[in-house]
Amino acid sequence: GNDRTMILSHGEIARAGNNVVLTWSGGGSQDPPEPTEPVVETPKPGVGNGPVFTVPFTAEAMEYSGYRELDNGEPGDCSDGNVDSWFLSGEAKNDCQSDCAIGWTTKDEYMEYDFETAGAMRVQVTARVASKDRKKFKMQLVGEDAGSGNINTPGGGWNAYKERTWDLDVSSGKHTLRVLFMEGAMNFCSVSVKQLGAGATEPSPDDVTPPPPPPPGPAPTFTVPFAADALDYTGFSDVDKSFGNCNDGNVDAMTLPDSSKNSCQSDCIIGWTSPKEYVEYAFRAESKSTIQVSAYVASDLDKTKEFRLELVGESKSAVLKTPGAGWFTFEARTWKVDVEQGDYVLRVVFLDGLTNLCSVDVD
């Protein structure tokens, strides 16, 4: 038929009376099929057993509704067979409000948590994260046009958990919050969602411990004369979350280029400012005097922006303009003001936004 048989005899095989028989199908000189590469499947997203939460809530890391796990590394002693996790203890457990933390994360893994809202509202999402070095992650609402942008972990150690927040508007209904580990090598222990503004649920009086009476004023950080790096602030208002590689989780900041460090005497600058955002610096004047405030600012080329220097609670302020010589071309803008002996808070208000600030001096 179409089978071909070849009998080979050779040396010791022939003398032993053994034959080697090779048989293949097909006609003529048909070649055997080419070998194929094995198909490697990317792990598919998985489903968890987490509930559908109602705002406000705090979800432990392992109360997830969906996940993507991309490696087969160390599962940890709190693993459920899906994601890598281990038990928390001590201070980390208290900070996290969770029994376990998810760790050994790799790039593009994620966790998801379902929640619902009774109506449209503005909410704040708080993720508690830790890492050895700063790593980027994102928070998103799956299938919705809502994302936090890049957020940096604190980078203070594997068990040094810190909160990172994201404020956003949500519609009524069910949502899926995704925490995406963009670089991996970070730990994640819990996530909370609460309502902001009017309509926010207040805890009952029985659940509230009365706070201690407030001090008479902000505790001074600086004494005149002083030079403050931009991130040496004692108060702030940040309405958006662009972040940057030098942010501290509160305000948007980036590493200062070496070429600008001489004029700023600072390692980082505050940037991506929006209109009416501000930073504050508390200080003490030891005597009655006229002080000079110098803010080192920059803005896009040929685009000057207005900002205001003011003493909080005092009727003293000055509106100034940035030089508009380039994002990293910092120049001092100065304001002289009379002060009495006492404590003050200097506020730098970005009236137009789109202004970079690297340091503040008071002489």
Whether 42 shows a pLDDT value over 90: the answer reads no
More confident residue, 19 or 93: 93
Quickly state the pLDDT bin for 3 (edges 50, 70, 90). Answer: very low
Mean pLDDT of 97-112: 94
Q: How far apart are CA 240 and CA 192, in angstroms?
A: 19
Per-residue confidence (pLDDT) for residue 311, from 0 to 100 = 95
Distance CA(236)–CA(176), nearest Å, equals 30
Query: Residue range 285-297: average pLDDT?
Result: 94
Count CA within 13 A, CB hemisphere, residue 113. Answer: 24
Q: What is the pLDDT of residue 71?
A: 85
Q: How confident is the model at residue 44 (pLDDT cuts 50, 70, 90)?
A: low
**What one-letter code names the amino acid at 289?**
S
Determine whether domain 222-362 maps to CATH 2.60.120.260: yes
CATH number of 44-195: 2.60.120.260
3-state secondary structure of 93: helix
Q: What pLDDT shows up at residue 221? A: 72
Concatenating the DSSP letter of every residue in 2-47 gives --EEEEE--HHHHHTT--EEEEE-SSTTPPPPPP-PPPPPPPPPEE
Percent of residues, the chain, with pLDDT higher than 70: 79
Which pLDDT score, from 0 to 100, does residue 258 have? 72
| pLDDT for the residue numbered 28 | 44
- The per-residue pLDDT for 171 is 93
Alpha carbon of 24 to those of 6, 7, 19, 31, 34: distances in Å? Answer: 10, 13, 17, 9, 15
The whole-number average pLDDT for the span 341-360 is 94
- Give the C-alpha separation, 329 to 121, whole Å: 41
Range scoring the smallest mean pLDDT among 81-85, 157-161, 204-208: 204-208
**Mean pLDDT of all residues belonging to the chain:** 81
pLDDT band of 12, cuts 50, 70, 90 = very low
Global confidence as pTM: 0.48
pLDDT at residue 108 tops 90 = yes
Q: What number of H helices and E strands is found in the chain? A: 3, 27
* Amino acid 43: pLDDT: 54
In this prediction, residue 319 carries a pLDDT of: 95
At residue 9 the predicted structure's pLDDT band, cuts being 50, 70 and 90, is very low
Q: Is it the case that residue 338 has pLDDT exceeding 70?
A: yes
Banded model confidence at residue 154, pLDDT cuts 50, 70, 90: confident
* Residue limits of CATH 2.60.120.260 in the chain: 44-195, 222-362
Give me the mean pLDDT over the 10-26 stretch: 44
- Between 114-118, 212-216, 296-300, 306-310, the lowest mean confidence (pLDDT) is in 212-216
The residue among 91 and 58 whose pLDDT is bigger is 58
- Would you say residue 80 has pLDDT above 50? yes
